[in-house]
């Protein structure tokens, strides 16, 4: 990795299975790359299981993970093919650094420069929280007490009948 970085490669990614080796665990690999990359590159570690919240993944979670993984591999292959000439890969345009997600029920890659403009970094949230408009509906669906506001005037059956005559 150090040789590649010295030659001008700007990004690297290492994926490993947590059970690949008892001796060469994720922490060891991270510390190794931190030490070897001093002055050339920085290293970050992320264990995907630590990002998971809740219990065991459901079939939906597994299906979504498979679909996103497949889309990510397709994108990587297409991007490498598009940016490789004469055996040299150059990824210098904004569409080569992306985040894959679901936007309006479609799998979509969004380039990081666009996402940077849409992010409130101080609070680590999007600048536009579209889902907040759904809160009243969610309260109703959850049968939350504060969901219903009093509207109009209460009438008795007798008063309603008189109004209809």
Which fold is adopted by the domain 1-53?
A: Rossmann fold (3.40.50)
**pLDDT given for residue 136 in this prediction:** 85
Q: Note the pLDDT tens digit of each residue in 36-77.
A: 888 777 888 877 765 556 667 889 889 999 999 999 999 999
Q: Note the pLDDT tens digit of each residue in 74-127.
A: 999 999 999 999 999 999 999 999 999 998 889 999 999 999 999 999 888 899
Q: Which tokens go with 65?
A: 């993970």
Alpha carbons 71 and 154: distance in angstroms, whole number: 56
Which alpha helices (H) appear in 103-152, and where do they start and end? 112-117, 135-141
**How open is the CA angle 110-111-116, to the nearest 5 degrees?**
105
**pLDDT given for residue 45 in this prediction:** 83
pTM of the full structure: 0.50
The mean pLDDT value for 140-146 works out to 70
Does residue 5 carry a pLDDT above 50?
yes
Classify burial at 1, counting beta carbons within 10 Å of its beta carbon; exposed 0-12, middle 13-18, buried 19 or more: middle
């Amino acid at each position: 990795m150090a040789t590649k970085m010295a030659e001008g490669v700007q990004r690297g990614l290492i994926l490993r299975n947590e059970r690949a080796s008892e001796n060469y665990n994720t922490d060891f690999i991270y510390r190794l790359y931190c030490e070897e990359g001093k002055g050339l590159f920085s290293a970050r570690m992320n264990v995907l299981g630590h990002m998971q919240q809740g219990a065991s993944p459901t079939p939906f979670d597994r299906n979504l993970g498979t679909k996103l993984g497949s889309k990510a591999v397709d994108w990587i292959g297409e991007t490498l093919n598009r940016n490789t000439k004469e055996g040299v890969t150059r990824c210098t345009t904004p569409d080569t650094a992306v985040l894959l997600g679901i936007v309006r029920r479609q799998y979509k890659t969004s380039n990081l420069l666009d996402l940077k403009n849409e992010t409130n970094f101080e609070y680590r949230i999007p600048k536009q929280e579209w889902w907040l408009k759904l809160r009243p509906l969610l309260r109703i669906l959850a049968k939350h007490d504060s969901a219903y506001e009093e509207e109009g005037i209460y009438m008795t059956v007798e008063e309603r009948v008189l109004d209809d005559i």
